[in-house]
Structure 1
Amino acid sequence: MIETAQDPTIYQVIRDQHRAISELLAQLSREQDVARGQQLFTRVRDALDRHARAEEAVFYDVLAQHDAEGKKLARDAESDHSDIRRRLAELEVMRADDDAWGSRIEALTENVTQHVEFEENTIFPAMEAFIDDDQARTLAETFEALESRVEPEAAA
């Protein structure tokens, strides 16, 4: 496919997903019903997993190949993903009516928020410095294609 100026860039795609995940996390933190809380958690977990795996395979891979600083930024971002996966694994074995559920959701939300800020304020500008808009659109297409094929993994 030939990208046009109307096609989203990788930054737009990732930013839109960040907003959608943030909204899911906000809904999850407000949910009082245990069954709906468990269902929302599954949606959050799956969305985070697909998003992180596509970022690592497409976005961070390009970043890491650029230079030593890009490699360091990619490693830092992947470390954030590991922290988020650990929090998801903790929540996976809990019920939404567990006393610690709310504080664990809060900690997960904080990790995700910090990662989003790092990505949007540090990684995006680093990528924008060496890929043009056409490349950013191609990356978006690759990212979305990969993400649509990724089967979420249950938290370990």
Structure 2
Amino acid sequence: MAHSETEADVVDVLTADHRDVTALIGEIWSVRDPMVRRDLTDTAISELVRHAVAEEMYVYPAMRKHLPDGEKAVEHDVEEHQELERAMKELEGLEISSTEFDTTLRRLEEILADHVQDEETEQFPELRRVIPHEELVKLAGKVETAKKLAPTRPHPGAPNNELFHKLAGPGVGMVDRLRDMITKRATK
């Protein structure tokens, strides 16, 4: 089956995720109601965790395979994912109206901005240059599926790698979604 050039590829999907999470963080800054801030924070965390897991499962192996400095780029991105996870875990435990919450949210925002900059200006254009469009479209489908099964909460102690996510991720994700349901935690 032929794919048209207008079909969304993995870069489109991941870039849209970046925009969504960045907008959610902007909303968190714009509201003062603690319950709304908590809901927005939980949603941003959930979306960011799922995005990171999907990248680690499918995009990073493609980067390692196709980019000349792929291994180095992946190492850098995984380090940023770990920093993001630590900040998200802290946010989950902080009082929403505390100065510590704002400080940690600002740190998360800065790490995310750096991560987005690296991916969108360097790695994503390079992936589009070296991987056929049809393969990038297939990767988009895999990423979307992975996001549906992925955990919704940060697990900073878990390995940030493809094998762990493929073997344990769906189980961890199921437990997270059950916890979300029981606690009525807002996630998309």
Same fold at TM > 0.5: yes
4+ residue segments displaced more than 6 Å:
none
Asked whether the equivalents of residues 92 and 155 of structure 1 are also in contact (C-alpha less than 8 Å), the reply is no
CA drift of 1:5 comes to: 2.7
Q: SS at the partner of 1:129?
A: helix
CA distance in 1, matches of 2:74, 2:30: 33
Which structure 1 residue ranges, 5 or more long, are not aligned?
Answer: none
Equivalent residue number for residue 5 of structure 2: 5
Asked whether the equivalents of residues 58 and 143 of structure 1 are also in contact (C-alpha less than 8 Å), the reply is yes
Q: SS at the partner of 1:100?
A: helix
CA distance in 2, matches of 1:129, 1:2: 19
**Identical residues among aligned pairs (%):** 22
CA distance in 2, matches of 1:15, 1:154: 21
TM-score under structure 1 length normalisation: 0.92
CA offsets, 1:65-105, max 9 Å, x none? 23561111111111111111111111111011112211221
Equivalent residue number for residue 19 of structure 2: 19
Q: Bigger relative contact order, structure 1 or 2, given CA contacts below 8 A and separation 6+?
A: 1
Give the 3 Å change call, closer, same or farther, for CA 34–110 of structure 1 in structure 2. Answer: same
Equivalent residue number for residue 57 of structure 2: 57
2:147 pairs with 1:147: yes
TM-score under structure 2 length normalisation: 0.77
2:113 pairs with 1:104: no
CA distance in 2, matches of 1:3, 1:46: 31
CA drift of 1:136 comes to: 1.1
Equivalent AA in structure 2 for residue 79 of structure 1 = E
CA distance in 1, matches of 2:29, 2:55: 25
Q: SS at the partner of 2:99?
A: coil
RMSD: 1.7
CA distance in 2, matches of 1:67, 1:41: 34
Equivalent AA in structure 2 for residue 151 of structure 1 = P
2:106 pairs with 1:116: no
CA distance in 1, matches of 2:42, 2:154: 9
Q: SS at the partner of 1:45?
A: helix
Give the 3 Å change call, closer, same or farther, for CA 52–154 of structure 1 in structure 2. Answer: closer
Which structure 2 residue ranges, 5 or more long, are not aligned?
Answer: 157-188
CA distance in 2, matches of 1:122, 1:102: 30
